[in-house]
Amino acid sequence: MVVRWLAGAFMPLTVVMAASGSFAAESYQSRSGTISVVTVTDGLEEPWGLAFLPDGRMLVTEKEGRLRIVAPDGRLSEPLGGVPEVYDGGQGGLLDVALDPDFASNRLVYLSYSEPGDGGAGTAVARGKLAEDRLDGLEVIWRQQPKLGTGQHFGSRLVFLPDGTMIVTLGDRNTRSYIPDMKAQIGKLVRINRDGSIPQDNPFVGDGAYSPDIYSLGHRNVQGATLHPETGQLWTVEHGARGGDEINIPEPGKNYGWPVISYGREYTGGKIGEGTSKPGLEQPVYYWDPSIAPSGMTFYTGDKFPAWKGDLFVGALKFHLLARLEVDGNRIVREERLLEDMGDRIRDVRQGPDGYLYLLTDEDDGRILRLEPAS
């Protein structure tokens, strides 16, 4: 079942200010009560990805190519050494960060980024061992091919599946000519082992017409991905064109339609592809029209907001909001738009080990925000 968000079907939220430590806590109304938004730290330059260390500190990427550690009290480290060179242009740069499932014993950290090289740039994944002030032994474990001269649609979320393999989300690099090329990792999701090798149960292993790392097809630009807390299924959110942002539950070997089908339109207003459906191509479980420019996403499983348990949260860049989506099985049955008056582009959404929701704002003076129930 596909559900569409209709523009204009919500009421604006109110904002009041209250003192909280060295920052002002912003308060917003939701269907479940008042939310306090606390600034943990500011002064970040276009932050993109966030990961929590076991001791409660946070790793955060800045698009220009810096990786920093943020203490629970908001203290910001100097940039860490050992980070790969990035192509910082357009939507490219240092993007997502993820901890190895065995981080407590191996200290491995994974980074996705736009890697410069012959032909332009492409999404790449590198890993290194976290030391006090650097990543040691950095190695590139996967590279998107081919590298292209466009600066858009790098995708770049990293998600570990329950079996320990990694999904790397990608985009079409704002060019459609390579999408039918099954040797090119353009407009696909890929699945790799933690060392970059290919899982032998990938859907196209042994088929010489396909790159063996491909997991699913027909994606425009997937910038949000998470696992369902009960089923372990992969859920993703991707940018449409002029409308047509999609939430999908990608399955191995399936094609999700771009650019043959879409609920959006060309930026010039024209029709995209062959319409909104076609046999053999998968439908989204939810889409937005107009586009909200979706970013990070997570399911909420904590106890700080009991009414939100099991809900899916998606950040938005275009309308500067946080979407709360009520989920029933594989269906999204209701949407609430939060924080619209805040005025910040929300780039990433994570649940902290303390049970609160944390947001990254994609600004020149970017912040890490923590959502708390108002006292």
pLDDT one-digit tens code per residue, 187-217: 999 999 999 999 999 999 999 999 999 999 9
pLDDT of residue 245: 98
Question: Which pLDDT score is estimated for 23?
Answer: 81
Range of the domain at 102: 3-373
What Cα–Cα distance (Å) separates residue 348 from each residue in 80, 203, 296, 342? 21, 29, 4, 15
Looking at residue 22, what is its pLDDT?
Answer: 60
Predicted local confidence at residue 375, as pLDDT: 76
User: What's 265's domain CATH number?
Assistant: 2.120.10.30
Confidence (pTM): 0.94
Distance of CA 267 to the CA centre of its chain: 23
Q: What is the pLDDT along the chain (375 residues), one digit of tens a residue?
A: 444 443 333 323 223 232 334 687 899 999 999 999 999 999 999 999 999 999 999 999 999 999 999 999 999 999 999 999 999 999 999 999 999 999 999 999 999 999 999 999 999 999 999 999 999 999 999 999 999 999 999 999 999 999 999 999 999 999 999 999 999 999 999 999 999 999 999 999 999 999 999 999 999 999 999 999 999 999 999 999 999 999 999 999 999 999 999 999 999 999 999 999 999 999 999 999 999 999 999 999 999 999 999 999 999 999 999 999 999 999 999 999 999 989 999 999 999 999 999 999 999 999 999 999 997
Q: Which of 153, 219, 239, 320 is catalytic?
A: 153
Domain total for the chain? Answer: 1
b/e map 59-72, b = 16+ CB within 10 Å: bbbbbebbbbbbee
239 is catalytic: no
Distance CA 104, CA 181 (A): 40
Task: Kindly state the greatest CA–CA separation across the chain.
Answer: 62
Provide the pLDDT for residue 301. 98
